Structure 1
Amino acid sequence: MTTQIHRFSAIAAGAAALLLLQGCSSYVSRGITDDGKATEVIFPNIDNDAWLKEGTFPNLDNLRAVAPGVTKDQLYDLLGRPHFREGMAGPREWDYIFHFRKAGGGVTTCQYKAIFDKDYKAQTFHWLPAGCGDVLGVRALPAAERPAAASPAAPRRTTLGADGLFRFDGRSLADLLPEGRRKLDALAGDIKGADTVKVTGYTDRLGSQAYNSALSLARANTVRDYLVQAGVPAQKIQVQGKGESEPKVQCTQTARAALIDCLAPNRRVEIEVFAER
């Protein structure tokens, strides 16, 4: 009997702990309906809940392309992964931290939230402060009406082989090889004056898609962290991981060692540099 009481007490304590943990997600909006609306929109705290506290400078044309009905994949393609610890698949809302340059100088920081319907299509969008959405009202001229000088310069792309950057299967700063550090030091000195730097990680097709996606993003984040330590402003760097997508080569070798060697060009980190104008 005493054992049963102890077992019941342990189960009750576990249930209470679970409820307590669920209560920690205090920034989740309340009353999200099947059609993607919320009775109370709650924004997360940047200092406590964001994994990318410095946020990003979004592409305004991409922001303007966001509209009710966009899927999570489409929103990811336009704006990147959410900047808070919300996960990618299950959550019904994604949150971002965006910076916008003011005409007279300086930067405005805003939070942006998308709320999804039961089919995980974004239906409602919210800003904090509310006036931040006004930035979307100033649209660029149609391409045919733009002066030729207004066309953005093509980004300068640098591709670094992951095998030369990291130890085998490595992804952290501690896994960077000496040669990889030298390459990143040289790159950092060359891009400190850039307006925007995009860091994209890729893997080969070996391993599961989920593993490769996580590995590519982790390596891109490590490159970003190293560049920041080397003096590149964090707010200028955008990061994404594309896993095994967009391979450079296709290989058919049956021997694993030969296949790994052949797939080496697919294991890479690409850095795109958009120069200030």
Structure 2
Amino acid sequence: MGTMDRNVKEKSVMLIAGSFLATISIVASAQAEEFPDVVVDASHSELGEPFLRNGDDIPIRDLQELSAGLGELSQEDVMSLLGAPIVPSVVGQDDSWLYNVSLPLPGKNYLVCQYRVSFSQQVLSSLEWRRPQCEHLFSELSVPAQPQKVSFSDGFLFDFDNYIVSSQGRSELRRVLQDAQSKFQSLSISVTGHTDRIGAAEYNMHLSEERAKAVADALVQWGVNPGSISYEGRGESEPVVNCPNIAGAELKKCLAPNRRVEILLKESA
């Protein structure tokens, strides 16, 4: 495994693994013989700015579209998907273009990978990751994430008979959103509000709709595209508990699981 491509970066800082070694040798693998190699003597000083590789945040879906377009996409098509290569002077030639691509890792980390795009007669002919760990990570990221359902029960997001999202509810919603954004390439969100059977059915329907809308509005405030969110209220129509032969405070407590908001997170079609 090469040193430079093992680097895991925070969004603001690139950490060079192994910089304390007397000499760092970057050796190309047999799978990527034509990638340029560098040998750096780090015995007297830290690696400088030229060796801090910054990658481009290219959507996985665009990289997948590139793979599907082998033998068809023109250089202009590739430029529209990836932007300019790191050596702009080669644009327009029947040659290979190099890119530095940031592939996301859990949390705020990412792996910077060299990626080569080659052409024959200005038509896309081959694609290659320099390191096998980059190819493996790209393959993992290309597998669609499974839909995920999150349910918030009574008293967490809202007080009883209220549709203002609580501070603890907002914090947890934001955490759920950040986690989903790291898993899904193109996130689609459905929010459904539910109530118990206490009170009039019409009022309960309205309350469930307002709660679902409040959650959707919070997600939009944090940058989610409104077009990727849908919400609805179903009132008391889908209970998870029935609580027969109970009244008063005990009934309210027993019916608590019915007072919930469910969020479905999935990859958009």
Scaled to the shorter chain, the TM-score interval is 0.3 to 0.5
Larger radius of gyration: 2
Determine which structure has the larger helix proportion and give its number.
1
TM-score, normalisation: structure 1 = 0.42
TM-score, normalisation: structure 2 = 0.43
